[in-house]
A and B are shown apart, each in its own frame.
Chain A
């Protein structure tokens, strides 16, 4: 029997926990019921689902069985994921399971108290209008059916309810001027999108800074990234990088801190939030 002995919380542990929680909630089971199934306490289920506790392979298998997950591939995937969390420090790509991983990102994003994001090319996902999303999805997936496009748009829109829920997380976004100037979907779509940005920047939990062309070269030009912060003091910040075919999570402190450092530089160098409205209005007037 394998006992996973993880030194500290890792993204994978949190992801395994998030999946277990999703399975349980989908079945409308309480934590107490899940606890009984593996002869454990409710508290342990709570800790497990939050990625805060090491657990035995047998517990994991028993829980999955209880949740009706018996498909060998699916069980294997979760066990492998849990086992992977054992490896010291990580940097992983899971290109083949992107949809599942993206769901995971949405879970993690929903659990965060602070989302810091830098976008060089796009309007940040949490602030996109549905027409903007539709134009992006069309641009990126020409072969997709209308149904698929609709599904992606709905997913993105569902994700945005996060910002207006009770006790919402704070979004602190830095957007490159390039992302504001590229007329995705044409001038009309972009006008509505920029107006949406103006509106969003007035939300008390949204901070929007723009890094203008005038700033010259900056250290994040090559890649957009997000940093998720959780209220639990034990949980490390997570860096999330989305690529064309996969997504990467970083949780090793030295790597995360490199991104945090770049984020600090960017925020210091960007226009202060109080200048955002004026900046966007100028772009609107030139559209």
Chain B
């Protein structure tokens, strides 16, 4: 039995969800995760800011989609460990009837999500986004989500864990084809295109990105940063909302003091 257990959860192997939790100041991480995260921070001290900016981007996107676009159904793919400001909290604060599906392929993440996030109008399922049918056909998803009404698909800081040979473009397209008209997709994605410090040359940024990618080879996932053009291609078949694919810090910023843009590209598209 014990062997089966460690196959589903092994705290001794660095794990992107727990590394992200650590970078966000969470406590659901283990020495192996912190070891890699600390090395990431050595190379890119700005990483903490970038993951925080990504949470802020998620908040602004969900706020916009709920408040302005009237979306009431969300599927959060690669949702990660529960933290402050989870999707259903943001959406249900505006529209209490909003429904949210959290999807992750990590057993610990799903267990935490079921324990801490699940409730009325919220479910968490264990599935792999590279297999869209397993998610869109999942009984709990079919029960909660109305496929005749607009759905917002959230792909926050997750597609960079799908390498090119696993066809991330095809994955997004397969989801797109199953969504009703008027649905949305929101993406944030790691990049090495934009220097994260004003004194940094593009070459230094490329080098920094390469070193972070290399570190992630120690984890249970591989990291593939992508260029602006590559990220934009994920929105094929969608109409991009203003201001298009930009550094996440520049996507409809609110009144908070803006941070230096960089690290992740992000955007939101609408299926016509």
Residues of A within 8 A of B (CB): 170, 172, 204, 207, 209, 215-219, 229, 233, 237, 254, 257, 260-261, 264-265, 267-269, 272-274
Contact of B108 with A268 in the complex, beta carbons under 8 Å: yes
| Interface check B219, CB cutoff 8 A | no
Q: Which residues of B contact A254 (CB under 8 A)?
A: 31
Residue of B2, B30, B112 near A261 (CB, 8 A) is B30
- Distance A204 CA – B118 CA, assembled complex (angstroms): 10
Q: Which residues of B contact A272 (CB under 8 A)?
A: 111, 114
Q: Which residues of B contact A207 (CB under 8 A)?
A: 115-116
Q: Which residues of B contact A229 (CB under 8 A)?
A: 27
* Contact A204 B30, CB 8 Å, known A261-B11, A268-B8, A268-B108: no
29 contacts between A and B (CB under 8 A): A204-B119, A207-B115, A209-B115, A217-B2, A218-B1, A219-B2, A219-B5, A229-B27, A233-B25, A237-B27, A254-B31, A260-B11, A260-B30, A261-B30, A264-B9, A264-B111, A265-B5, A265-B9, A267-B111, A267-B115, A268-B5, A268-B8, A268-B9, A268-B107, A268-B108, A269-B5, A272-B114, A273-B115, A273-B118
Q: Which residues of A contact B11 (CB under 8 A)?
A: 257, 260-261, 264
Q: Which residues of A contact B119 (CB under 8 A)?
A: 204
**Size band of the interface chain B makes with A:** 10 to 19
Write out, one digit per residue, whether chain B residues 12-39 have a CB within 8 A of any chain A CB (1) or not (0).
Answer: 0000000000000101001100000000
Q: Which residues of A contact B27 (CB under 8 A)?
A: 229, 237
- Distance A209 CA – B108 CA, assembled complex (angstroms): 14
Q: Which residues of A contact B118 (CB under 8 A)?
A: 273-274
Residues of chain B from 105 to 155 with CB closer than 8 A to chain A in the complex? 107-108, 111-112, 114-116, 118-119
Name the distance in Å between B33's Cβ and chain A's nearest Cβ. Answer: 11
